[in-house]
Amino acid sequence: MAWLITGGAGFIGSNLVHRILRELPEQDIVVLDALTYAGNLANLEQARDNPRFRFVRGDITDRDLLDSLFAEVSIDGVFHLAAESHVDRSILDAGAFIKTNVEGTHALLEAARKAWVEQSIKGRFLHVSTDEVFGSLGPADPPFSETTNYAPNSPYSASKAASDHLVRACHHTHGMDTVTTNCSNNFGPWQFPEKMIPVMICNAIEGKKLPVYGDGMNVRDWLYVEDHCEALLTAFLKGRGGETYCIGGDNEVPNIELVHALCDLIDEMVAPLANGPRRGLVTYVKDRPGHDRRYAIDFSKIERELGWRPRHDFRGALRQTVQWYLDHEGWLASCRSGEYREYYDLNYAGRC
């Protein structure tokens, strides 16, 4: 029996793959990933020769491919991470978000449901979602929890909300064993350099401007990706069917404070810039349309019921993340040039 990990060549997916291979020595996994601009097989390099790991390049909207995959491999667990994930891109063009996040989730649910009925497999479907489905908090509002009403504000969060509802409906109507997690902002190794933390780290290292949206006072709750992966495994292995779990880092920070903290860290870790401390690189730019003001998560349900809470210290994890980007210049350069797409042909052609 294998677990299927969709989106396993992306940021969180690749961290999850490495954790499973490291910590669950009996577990086989199959990664299904379309390798969009955000998917990079270099993220999975360490897994490539592991006999318990297999990579399939394919799209979750391709129902024929999904049916043949479920027929060929006995899959009793799905970790569904494949998605279009960047809010700014969804504002420019929401089409791919509807296709992958909504239609893709529907296709995957249907393929898993059909296979599990036909093969009499008791499978579990873990749907990885976001806190953004709950909308935006005011400064005095209590944090989001599992009982917060849905109020998505961006095309990205609307598409994720739709996918959450499809998962809920599949459990309610067809009795599928599903678990949904809603998590706050992640950071750590392998994050594509378009999200805030890697953008700021990479630009600050190179002495480039640091584009802060609006007044810089939007608040996000940050979670180290290793803590998120641990929460996903906990929810999959111990969560109650049909339930949702909110996952957060207990690290609410206004963006400008975080950018300043990164500047100070990088000033300490690499050569100083000739023109002064890196805080001087901060440049306020036009705000994101519809920019959610504040996210915060009450994760007491998963803590109480399943015993998970974040374990990494925020500042220590930020330092490790900066060091990771310093150590992976080649990876970064290939992401920025788009070259990594050739990696597939060089290393995987004929093997997937």
**Using CA atoms, how far apart are residues 277 and 216, in angstroms rounded to an integer?**
19
- Contact between 66 and ligand NAD by CB under 6 A: the answer reads no
Per residue, what are the HEC states of the chain?
Answer: CEEEEECCCCHHHHHHHHHHHHHCCCCEEEEEECCCCCCCHHHHHHHCCCCCEEEEECCCCCHHHHHHHHHHCCEEEEEECCCCCCHHHHHHCCHHHHHHHHHHHHHHHHHHHHHHHHCCCCCEEEEEEEHHHHCCCCCCCCCECCCCCCCCCCHHHHHHHHHHHHHHHHHHHHCCEEEEEEECEEECCCCCCCCHHHHHHHHHHHCCCEEEECCCCCEEEEEEHHHHHHHHHHHHHHCCCCCEEEECCCCEEEHHHHHHHHHHHHHHHCCCCCCCCHHHHEEEECCCCCCCCECCECCHHHHHHHCCCCCCCHHHHHHHHHHHHHHCHHHHHHHHHCCCHHHHHHHCCCCC
- Contact between 254 and ligand TDX by CB under 6 A: the answer reads no
**Using CA atoms, how far apart are residues 227 and 224, in angstroms rounded to an integer?**
6
Residue 256 region by backbone torsions, left for phi larger than 0, else alpha for psi between -120 and 50, else beta: alpha
Single out the segment in contact with ligand TDX by CB under 6 A; choices: 167-175, 195-203, 227-235, 336-344.
Answer: 195-203
Q: Which of ligand NAD, ligand TDX, none interacts with 255 (beta carbon under 5 to 8 A by kind)?
A: ligand TDX
Single out the segment in contact with ligand TDX by CB under 6 A; choices: 2-10, 191-199, 269-277, 321-329.
Answer: 191-199
- Contact between 85 and ligand TDX by CB under 6 A: the answer reads yes
Give the Å distances, CA to CA, from 234 to 7, 23, 134, 250, 305. Answer: 19, 13, 23, 18, 10
Based on the residue annotation, tell me whether 132 is a catalytic residue of this protein. yes
- Contact between 44 and ligand NAD by CB under 6 A: the answer reads no
208 touches 156 (CB < 8 A): no
Return the residues of window 154-183 that contact ligand NAD according to CB under 6 A. Answer: 160, 183
Based on the residue annotation, tell me whether 62 is a catalytic residue of this protein. no
Task: For ligand TDX, give the closer residue by CB, 116 or 144.
Answer: 144
Q: Which of ligand NAD, ligand TDX, none interacts with 162 (beta carbon under 5 to 8 A by kind)?
A: none
Task: For ligand NAD, give the closer residue by CB, 89 or 279.
Answer: 89
Q: Which of ligand NAD, ligand TDX, none interacts with 199 (beta carbon under 5 to 8 A by kind)?
A: ligand TDX
Based on the residue annotation, tell me whether 131 is a catalytic residue of this protein. yes
Q: Which of 33, 84, 132, 230 is catalytic?
A: 132
Of the candidate residues 9, 17, 115, 317, the single one contacting ligand NAD (CB under 6 A):
9
Least Cβ distance, residue 229 to ligand NAD (angstroms): 10
Report which of 3, 242, 4 is spatially closest to residue 107, judged by C-alpha positions: 4
User: What residue is closest to ligand TDX based on CB?
Assistant: 130
Q: Which of 28, 33, 59, 131 is catalytic?
A: 131
Q: Which of ligand TDX, ligand NAD, none interacts with 220 (beta carbon under 5 to 8 A by kind)?
A: ligand TDX
Site string for ligand NAD, 120-159 (x = CB under 6 A): --------x-x-----------------------------
Total residues contacting ligand NAD by CB under 6 A comes to 30
Q: Which of ligand TDX, ligand NAD, none interacts with 123 (beta carbon under 5 to 8 A by kind)?
A: none
Q: Which of ligand NAD, ligand TDX, none interacts with 133 (beta carbon under 5 to 8 A by kind)?
A: none
Return the residues of window 241-280 that contact ligand NAD according to CB under 6 A. Answer: none
Interacting residues with ligand NAD (CB under 6 A): 6-7, 9-13, 33-36, 38-39, 59-61, 81-85, 100, 104, 128, 130, 160, 183, 185-186, 192
Interacting residues with ligand TDX (CB under 6 A): 85-87, 130, 132, 185, 195-196, 199, 211-213, 218, 220, 255, 288
